[in-house]
Every structure is written in C-alpha cells, then in structure tokens.
DNA sequence: GCGACAG
DNA sequence: ATCTTGTCGC
C-alpha cells in the first residue's frame, strides 16, 4: 500500500519558474487527501520564516510542542538565503530549503506540522504545506493569512 | 490588455 | 516578508 512514508519525495530545487510549475503539477497527485493522520498527535511543530531588512537573508524556525501540555520539547533554527524569487504560487521553493534544514536539526520527529502559507488552497492545489508534507512524510496543515486564490462567503447566521 | 497575486 | 502614519470600520 503506497503511503508518503514508504516513498519519501526528495526536494528538488527548480532552475526556473517553468520547472517549478512542472514540479508542482507532477507532485500534486501524490498528496494523501484521505489518510486519517495521527488521531492524537503527541507532538506538533510550528514553522515560520523571518527575513532580513534587504530580504536577502532569512531565518527558518521550528518549534515542537508536546500536544498535551504545550511544553516546548524541541526547537531548531536555520539561517540562509531565499532559494527562489517570490512568485505567487511558487512560494514553497523560496522557503522550503531553509525549513527542511531546520527540521533536520531537530532531535525529535514531530507528528504534525503547521506552517505558513497555503496547502490545497493553491492555483495548482499544491502549496507549501502540501510540498512540505510530501517531502517530510508528515501530515501538514498550511495556514495562510491572506487568500491566494478563490472566493468565499462567510458562514450564514445561525 | 489590465489587474491580482501565500510569504 | 519588511518598512511605516494615519485612517476606516466594527
């Protein structure tokens, strides 16, 4: 039975925009949309990236919490450079290398990831959260502060 | 053709 | 993302 864990997807830095889009189109079908995931993850990792004033430096940070107590049980940081220009829809290629490096510095393996940016709410249904989830083999939730695509209506009254 | 466009 | 004053809306 194929599963993300059995066939880890290597991260391949694209050479240009066209290749980046091809990578997304190629990997989108490998996202597990039906897996149950951990019923009660023991740990949850939050990831974020901050930039230097010129945008030429960045720091990726990961903090792992005990899901029950919210105690910080692990953390790691990786300073580097943006790996790709910011192009809407290709955001993952910008921060993924640093995020992966930070994750590699962890002592533990978190059971759930929560990262910046969208996952499925993406033009090709393959945002950062999807890509990160495939490469790490971990269930991942993407959190976007502003929409990238689509429209919606708020919940009705009652 | 013009505007919009995760972080 | 990051730099920033005043301003609009609830």
A95 in Cβ contact with A48 (< 8 Å) = no
Report, in ranges, which bases of strand C sit under 7 Å from a protein C-beta: 1-3
What is the band of A143 on the pLDDT scale with cuts at 50, 70, 90?
A: very high
Q: Which residues contact A158 (CB under 8 A, 6 or more apart)?
A: none
In this predicted structure, the answer to whether residue A87 has a pLDDT above a threshold of 80 is yes
- The confidence band for A1, taking pLDDT boundaries of 50, 70 and 90, is very low
- CA A90, CA A21: separation in Å to the nearest integer? 7
Report the 10 Å Cβ neighbour count for A15: 9
Q: Assign domain A42-143 to its CATH architecture.
A: 2-Layer Sandwich (3.30)
pLDDT tens, position by position, A19-48:
999 999 999 999 999 988 888 999 999 999
Nucleotides on chain B that have an atom closer than 7 A to a protein CB are 5-7
Helices A128-136 and A92-104 pack at an angle, to 10 degrees, of 30
């Amino acid at each position: 039975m194929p599963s993300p864990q059995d066939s880890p997807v290597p991260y391949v830095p694209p050479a240009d925009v066209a290749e980046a889009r091809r990578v997304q189109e190629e990997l989108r079908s490998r996202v597990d949309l039906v897996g149950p995931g951990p019923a009660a993850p023991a740990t949850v990792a939050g990831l974020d990236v901050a930039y230097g004033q010129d945008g030429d430096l960045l720091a990726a940070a990961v903090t792992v919490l005990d899901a029950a107590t919210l105690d910080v049980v692990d953390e790691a940081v990786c300073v580097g450079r943006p790996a790709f220009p910011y192009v809407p829809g290709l955001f993952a290629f910008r921060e993924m290398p640093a995020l992966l490096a930070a994750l590699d510095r962890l002592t533990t393996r978190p059971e759930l990831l929560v990262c910046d940016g969208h996952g499925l709410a993406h033009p090709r249904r393959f945002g950062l959260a999807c890509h990160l989830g495939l490469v790490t083999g971990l269930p991942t939730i993407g959190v976007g502060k502003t929409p990238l695509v689509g429209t919606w209506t708020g919940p009705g009254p009652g």
